[in-house]
Amino acid sequence: MPVAPPGKPSKMIARQWWTEKKKSLTGACLAHAVHDGYTDALYVFLPVWQAQFGLSYAMLAVIRALYSGTMGGLQIPADRALRGLSPRASLILSTVLAAAGLLIMALPLGLPGLCVGLVVAGIGSSIQHPCGSMLVTVSYGAASRHPLGIYNFSGDLGKAALPALVAVLLPTVGWQPVLGMMAAIGLVLSAALLPLLPAVPITRAAKTKAAGRGRGGFGILTVIGALDTATRMGYLLFLPFLIHGQGGDSATVGLALALLFIGGALGKATCSLLGERLGVVGCVMVTEAATALLIAATLFTSLTPTLILLPLLGIVLNGTSSVLYGTVPELSNGDTGRAFAVFYTSVIGSGGLAPILYGAIADHSSQTTGVLASAATAALIVPLVLMLRPHLNASAAEPQGGSGLPRSA
């Protein structure tokens, strides 16, 4: 911590300390925006890859899962292996690896090169989530719920911007050069993170003894998060084809994704306000019921009404995750960093595996049945979330930390 000159009040110290926290939050948000932008921009490429490589819906989901499955499966190992590194080193390594994966995908190596690139990019993105979340949590301590919401919101900005940019460029530039451009954005970001992030490892929160009920609550929360993500990723698998079936082109697919994710970004604030009035349980019940109804509605509308519905669907489809995500520190068993890693492993792993199931359902029945399966998953959460109520009522835990973040060099 800086030392104030004689005669100067501690305001200068506080001002510099808050500057360090804001810089850390800004760096974490930039990394989150780019990595989440990478993740969801890949959906725009799915129809192109299907046509070029002759893939079924299930095979498309398998290809997609090479990225999301790697990213989800390595959350806990990445959190454990890189605890000795500074946030600066970890997040820059994460972004460079993700960009390298996109560069491999952009090379003329055919389907094998595409698969290898997706795995490499997934390894890079597996580092970002637990590191960025823990950096924000430790930086702000007991006041971390709102900064975590900002961090979560930043991912939606990337989800809204990159897919739209990719969709605009694809028809004229080609998918491989577009991937190269996306990789260049990541490399530029890596340089921008240098002055923002702490250059020494953070001191993690001390473990605390949590009640058994709190641990059970975290397990239920994780299952709900997995089902919520399965709903979202399953619907996103079919959305480009739904838009094409209604007469839209690639640019319209990008617009549809952008509208969905803009609604999702708005949903973070909307669901937070709704959560204050209804509580976590009431908010999740309302948003998941609305998600199921709106997903089903997009099956029976033409292109223009579908585009009108997508921002509303985005509010409930993405907004629920902010409520669940902000509850992780409250129900964690003392080690908040590991809790985030476990939570991300569950939700990202679900997001990678569930579309394979939905894709197989569509291949053996119809696209409509696959979309309805994702809607049914959202409806399943409504009774399940009632099991979370006693654990939330029993838990009074707050995020730990606040003094564990050293100054960056």
Rounded to whole angstroms, the Cα distance separating 126 from 131 reads 9
Q: How far, in Å, CA of 161 to CA of 165, rounded?
A: 6
Please name the residues in contact with 193: beta carbons below 8 A apart, sequence gap of 6 or more.
27, 30, 31, 88, 91, 92, 95
Q: With left for phi above 0 and alpha for psi between -120 and 50, is residue 157 left, alpha or beta? A: alpha
CATH numbers and ranges of domains, the chain: 17-202 (1.20.1250.20), 212-392 (1.20.1250.20)
Residue 30: closest CA among 151, 178, 139:
151
Task: Report residue 121 as tokens.
Answer: 């990019």
pLDDT at residue number 212: 38
Inter-helix orientation angle 212-245/367-384, to 10°: 160
Euclidean distance between CA atoms 230 and 257, whole angstroms: 17
pLDDT at res. 142: 64
Q: Residue 358 in 3-state DSSP?
A: helix
pLDDT tens, per residue, the chain with 409 residues: 444 455 455 555 545 555 778 888 888 899 999 998 998 888 888 888 888 888 887 788 788 888 877 887 787 787 777 777 778 888 889 999 999 999 999 998 888 999 999 999 999 888 887 788 878 877 777 666 677 777 877 887 888 788 888 888 888 888 999 999 999 999 999 899 888 887 776 665 544 344 334 446 888 888 999 999 899 888 988 898 899 888 888 788 878 887 887 888 788 767 766 776 777 888 889 999 999 999 999 999 999 999 999 999 999 998 888 788 777 777 776 667 677 778 878 887 787 778 788 888 988 888 899 899 999 999 999 999 888 887 775 443 333 444 344 333 3
pLDDT given at position 12: 53
- DSSP assignment of 134-168 equals HHHHHHHGGG-HHHHHHHHHHHHHHHHHHHHHHHH
Tokens encoding 157: 């900005």
Of the candidates 196, 153, 202, 157, the residue with the CA atom closest to the CA atom of residue 24: 196
Show the tokens assigned to 136.
Answer: 């924000």
Burial class (CB in 10 A: 0-12, 13-18, 19+), 209: exposed
d(CA 391, CA 215): 9
* Token digits of residue 132: 């960025």
Report d(CA 319, CA 66) in Å as an integer. Answer: 26
B/e letters for 30-47, b = 16+ CB within 10 Å, e = fewer, are bbbbbbbbbbbbbbbbbb
User: Pick from 121, 128, 89: which is nearest to 103 by CA?
Assistant: 121
The answer to whether 313 and 260 have CB atoms below 8 angstroms apart is yes
Q: Residue 210 has what pLDDT?
A: 40
397 closest CA partner among 139, 225, 210? 210
Which spans in 84-144 are helix H? 87-106, 110-140
Short-list 393, 188, 154, 373, CA closest to 280: 393
Q: Which helix (H) or strand (E) holds 27?
A: helix 11-53
Those residues with Cβ within 8 angstroms of residue 219's Cβ, 6 or more apart along the chain or in another chain: none
pLDDT at 380: 93
Query: What backbone torsions phi and psi does residue 334 show, to the nearest 5 degrees?
Result: 100, -50
CB 324 within 8 Å of CB 228: yes
Contact 33, 151 (CB under 8 A): no
